[in-house]
A and B are shown apart, each in its own frame.
Chain A
Amino acid sequence: MPKILAVGEIGGGQLKKASREVTSVGKKLAGSVDTVLIGSGAAGCAAEVAKHGAGVVYAGEAAEYSGEAYAKAIAALVKDKGYEIVLVPHSWTGRDISSRIATHLGSAVISDATEISLDGDKVKIKKPVYSGKAYVELKCKATPQVVTIRPNSQPIAEEAGAGSVENITVDLSGLKAKQVSYSAQATNRVSVTEADIVVSGGRGIKGPENFGPMIEEMADLMGAGVGATRAVVDAGWVDHTLQIGQTGQTVSPNLYIAVGISGAIQHMAGMGSSKYIVAINKDADAPIFKVSTFGVVDDLFNVVPVMKEELKTHYGK
């Protein structure tokens, strides 16, 4: 079996969901996996990631984020220990570091896999291309193989690993590009790419004053993430960081609830790999209904308030 390293992520000293996901994938593919965590409080997260199979947890303390430095440290680790496959979440960080890791290793990277398997020692993946209008199957020919995995696309398994901690060094000196400040998004909501449920609003919500009552309040009842279409963002109703679609975020939740969204192909590109899709739209001909598990053809302003009441009852709130 090929030797696999999963690249986890931590935020605010906590293990991120993506770390559990990539570690679970590694364990499932090869029967054993090690995980590297870099950031402030890395060693403290070792026991958590070991629950998903991590044998060795490499912990690198770093006072600040640097894609440049993280990639160098991870590439050095891969070389040193002879890993053949490196699994990275396709997150902002993962996209920043994966190509750099592969370049340092003289190898190649495959991005945003939604399906992954082994063909002998080689990784084989599938991923959507052309806004989800086709899928491509790719295989790594070079070694080590670096693969990024779409967040939320793979099951998280609980299967304990040894979780023995080894420290690694991250050198933050002499950087070409250096982070001088960082500001976290002012929200207590789960990140939209990690959320199990996403509630998203389109032009059908009619105005910015309705985004709170029709989208955010319903999302908060379910502990869901919040998104919007490009039309809503371009109209200035919500911040563009909420945009889901071709020029926004790609999400892959268990449940995607599209409220007042017609389903332009650019939007579908960002949510088409969701497991279940619900559409609430008064236009029965809206393309979103073609991909929906459940469709409600009615006025969202009459549907959502009742849903909120039902959800309160369901969650005992």
Chain B
Amino acid sequence: MDILVLIKQVPDTEAKITVSGNKINEAGVSKWIISPYDEIALEEAIRIKEKSGGTVTAISVGDDSVQASLRQAFAMGADTAIQVKTDSYQMLDSFGIAEALLKAIEGKEYKVILAGRQGSDSDNGQVPLIMATLKDWGVVPFAKKVELKDDKAIIECEAEGGDAVYESSYPVVVTANAGLNEPRYPSLKGIMASKKKPIEVKNISELGVSGEARIEVVGFEPPPPRPAGRVIDGADAAEKAKALVKALAEEIKAL
């Protein structure tokens, strides 16, 4: 079974993010990683391959810096990697990305497309659903368990107020939720081998993506400052607890 994994490279969760002008200061980001949910999706794809054979292809849209994440995917166990190259990634919205990804895989047949449920930078979770809808493929978001039979995929996922099980025909797009698996650390051998594997580069300008952006990014700003808080005083824990409940009830009327 051939599996495609969508990889988004994002700033490390711990990285300092600053806004200068009305833009994110990307040069100031110390470390970039595979978005955590995408890493879970990649791990799932590799586990499926290890169990049932086939190949795992990792794909990412961006400038040459995303090759670092594709190499990381190799190190974890991906067989091939595609970079959809663009130097103005920020100008693309989710439709642009979805369209570019679909164009880049034209002529290839993946039975399963795995992705994280959302990127940890913008928390949208749109691209996999847009791709599936454009192609009229089955799509199941927020997967907690994936079982692939010959003729259908059985996916357990988080749903409104509970859990649901879906059956989908192929091809199917699945987005990974937390709890699907625990991603592995790449082995030293994997890391060494990842450096020699070729990355297929496709220029977005040659893919014929139509795209004028449908969403305008007006600008970024620092988070609004939270009003100054105060420490609840008291001689002991009991006094502080009483003073806190009083403050919740009377000062902010939250109870």
Spell out A's residues near B (CB within 8 Å).
9, 11, 65, 67-68, 71, 91-93, 95-96, 98-100, 102-104, 107-112, 124, 127-142, 176-185, 191, 196-197, 222, 240-241, 243, 246-248, 250, 254-255, 265-266, 269, 272, 276-278, 280, 289, 291-299, 302-307, 310-311, 314-315
Contacts and interface: CB of A to CB of B under 8 A. Distances in A.
Contact of B129 (A99, A141, A315): A99
Contact of A141 (B11, B16, B213, B245): B213
B21 interface: no
10 contacts: A103-B129, A111-B126, A112-B124, A134-B17, A137-B220, A139-B216, A254-B254, A265-B13, A302-B236, A303-B237
Given A103-B134, A130-B17, A111 B167 contact: no
Given A65-B159, A141-B215, 18 more contacts: A96-B141, A103-B95, A129-B220, A132-B223, A134-B19, A135-B222, A135-B224, A137-B218, A176-B136, A177-B139, A178-B168, A181-B165, A182-B159, A243-B178, A294-B248, A295-B229, A310-B242, A310-B245
Contact of B223 (A128, A280, A295, A304): A128
A9 B160 contact: yes
Contacts of A315: 255
Nearest to B241: A306
A131 to B, nearest CB: 6
B129 A293 contact: no
A194 B120 CA distance: 22
Contacts of A103: 95, 129-130, 133-134
Interface of B: 11, 13-14, 16-17, 19, 24, 36-37, 93-95, 120-126, 129-130, 133-134, 136-142, 155, 158-169, 172, 178-179, 212-224, 226-227, 229-232, 236-238, 240-242, 244-249, 252, 254-255
Contact of A134 (B138, B164, B220, B240): B220
A276 B252 contact: yes
A253 to B, nearest CB: 9
A184 to B, nearest CB: 4
B119 to A, nearest CB: 10
A307 B72 CA distance: 49
A302 B214 contact: no
A246 B167 contact: no
A103 B132 CA distance: 10
Interface of B is mostly: mixed
Contacts of B163: 182-183, 185
A96 B178 contact: no
B218 A124 contact: yes
B166 A177 contact: yes
Contact of B241 (A92, A109, A250, A304): A304
A140 B215 contact: yes
Contacts of A128: 223
Contact of A137 (B129, B178, B221): B221
Most chain B CB within 10 A, of A138, A291, A293, is at A293
A95 B218 contact: no
A248 B118 CA distance: 11
Nearest to A308: B241
A132 B225 CA distance: 12
A307 B254 contact: no
A315 B140 CA distance: 43
B71 to A, nearest CB: 23
Contacts of A302: 236-238, 241
Contacts of B126: 98-99, 109, 111
Nearest to A176: B138
Contacts of B247: 294
B252 A179 contact: no
A292 B155 CA distance: 40
Nearest to A301: B237
A254 B158 CA distance: 25
Nearest to B10: A130
Contacts of B136: 176
Given A99-B133, A293-B252, A303-B237, A136 B245 contact: no
A109 B162 CA distance: 25
A180 B155 CA distance: 10
A111 B125 contact: yes
B177 to A, nearest CB: 8
Contacts of B137: 176
